[in-house]
């Protein structure tokens, strides 16, 4: 055997040994990671980093909560992997923290949202009213650029609602949409085969027209959710139902119109709302803070994951497809689904 073949064999053997070592290390890491991942997720979702906005007494504090983006539960347990925008479970965890933390004396809720899911909006509303009833902690809302539909729904129980004159709000109502591409599919020779257990199992199918019976069934569902929306405004704003229904026809309105319709109390920016809370509840020396993601090693893992998978267009599209809802659902939402 000549020298070149011996060199080739040595290199091949070295590659094999290195490969076995790498695979062994990876297997050990994978096993350890799998065994502790649930524990990591639980810890990550329960830890909130607090950022002080204004210095003050640590025993008397004002919490600032933010709802930014569409109010939808995309199934993400925590912002561990760098999800941007609104995270429902993370926000609900903040509300629970507010309820249990005796040092928090008042809450400012900043809303910049076109609304979202009926169920998620109701969960937030129920939790806010639960905190108000059980702890007496006041909630003031600061509406940002938009607080429409479900964004208004979660603001309704607040003790006071502040808007900017250019805030887009209102859009009180329920919407449910689907796309019918049956004719387009037929044009290109695409045939859909559906086997169903009952006449309404494929209701709102995108491949056929809806029947009148199906429309009536869905309309009854939407009417129930709409009535719930009206009821929470009647209770939260202390308004007669006929006054609420007069503006609860889906119309969008600006801040000035919202104040005139009694859907908001006053004009102001974030600092004005904080000042109002201090003055109204004797919190002149209160610390003002907000919650953020805990800077644990899970956050470092997020950086590693991003560097591994990159931030290319294909990755973003895949994430979008994995997190968006593909089925029609009732929404308290302004604008397109």
Let me know: does 333 contact 116? Beta carbons within 8 Å: yes
| Residue 199: burial class (beta carbons within 10 Å; 0-12, 13-18, 19+) | exposed
CA 123 to CA 86: how far, in whole Å? 14
> Which tokens sit at 248?
């609860």
Question: Which residue is catalytic, options 19, 46, 196, 201?
Answer: 201
Bridge pairing between strands 252-253 and 160-163: unpaired
Query: Please, what is the angle between helix 3-46 and helix 88-100, to 10°?
Result: 40
**Is 149 annotated in the active site?**
yes
Cα distance between the two ends of the chain: 71
Let me know: does 148 contact 169? Beta carbons within 8 Å: yes
Question: How many CB atoms are closer than 10 A to CB 41?
Answer: 14
Question: Which residue is catalytic, options 149, 171, 225, 294?
Answer: 149
**Is 326 annotated in the active site?**
no
Cα separations in angstroms, 48 against 59, 168, 296, 304: 18, 31, 10, 21
* Active-site residue list: 149, 201
């Amino acid at each position: 055997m000549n020298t070149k073949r011996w060199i080739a064999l040595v290199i091949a053997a070295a590659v094999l040994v290195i490969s076995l070592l790498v695979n062994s290390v990876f297997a050990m890491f994978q096993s350890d990671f799998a065994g502790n991942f649930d524990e990591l997720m639980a810890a990550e979702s329960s830890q909130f980093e607090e950022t002080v906005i204004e210095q003050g007494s640590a025993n008397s504090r004002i919490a600032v909560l933010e709802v930014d983006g569409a109010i939808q539960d995309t199934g993400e347990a925590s912002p561990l992997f760098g999800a941007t925008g609104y995270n429902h479970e993370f926000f609900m965890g903040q509300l629970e923290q507010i309820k249990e933390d005796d040092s928090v004396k008042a809450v400012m809720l900043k809303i910049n949202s076109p609304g979202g899911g009926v169920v998620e909006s109701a969960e937030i509303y129920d939790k806010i009213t639960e905190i108000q009833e059980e702890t007496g902690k006041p909630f003031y809302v600061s509406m940002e650029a938009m607080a429409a539909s479900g964004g208004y729904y979660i603001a309704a129980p607040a003790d006071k609602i502040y808007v900017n004159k250019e805030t887009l709000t209102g859009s009180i109502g329920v919407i449910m949409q689907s796309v019918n591409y049956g004719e387009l599919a037929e044009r290109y020779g695409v045939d859909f085969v559906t086997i169903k257990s009952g006449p309404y199992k494929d209701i709102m199918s995108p491949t056929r027209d809806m029947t009148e019976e199906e429309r009536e069934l869905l309309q009854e569902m939407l009417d129930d959710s709409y009535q719930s929306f009206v009821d929470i405004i009647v209770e939260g704003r202390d308004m007669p139902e006929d006054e609420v229904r007069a503006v609860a026809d889906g119309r969008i309105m600006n801040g000035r119109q919202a104040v005139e319709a009694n859907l908001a109390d006053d004009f102001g920016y974030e600092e004005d709302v904080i000042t109002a809370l201090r003055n109204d509840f004797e919190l002149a020396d209160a610390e003002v803070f907000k919650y953020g993601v805990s800077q644990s090693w899970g956050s470092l893992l997020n950086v590693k994951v991003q560097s591994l998978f990159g931030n290319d267009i294909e990755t973003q599209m895949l994430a979008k497809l994995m997190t968006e809802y593909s089925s029609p659902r009732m929404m308290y939402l302004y604008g397109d689904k």
